[in-house]
Copies of this chain bind each other. A is one copy, B any other.
Amino acid sequence: MKISDFSIRSGLSIDTLRYYERIGLLPRTARDGGGRRSYGADDLAWARFLGKLQAMDMPIRERLAYSRLRSEGDATLGARRAMLEAHRAALVARQDELHGLIAALDGKITHYRDRATQSGDSQ
């Protein structure tokens, strides 16, 4: 698969794909005769998983650490699982935080609604 197709299918821009390869987040991609990148199905699965880690707010340094572990093979399965579990805990914490923030926001919105034409401080 050439980079333009891979970009569409992975959801990552062409520039981002080259950038990720440069920093080692994606392994050095296979090339065709003319030196152009040629992606396979396994590359797609990995790129999509990276996309998910990004959607989970995992910073690029951590994704890079995970990627390095992955490149070291099965010996690092435990370490990778530990990273995912730690990140899972962070996501759950963030969910809880959002819950509280939404509640606070609801209070504020209600307050605004109540004083639509009155005075007082609403920030």
Contact = CB atoms under 8 A, between A and B. Distances in A.
Q: How many of chain A's residues touch chain B, expressed as a range?
A: 35 or more
Contact of A98 (B42, B80, B94): B94
A39 interface: no
A23 interface: no
A65 interface: no
Copies of this chain, complex-wide, total 2
22 contacts: A42-B121, A46-B123, A49-B123, A55-B101, A56-B98, A56-B101, A56-B105, A70-B123, A74-B119, A77-B116, A78-B116, A81-B109, A81-B112, A81-B113, A84-B105, A85-B109, A87-B105, A88-B106, A91-B101, A91-B102, A95-B98, A98-B98
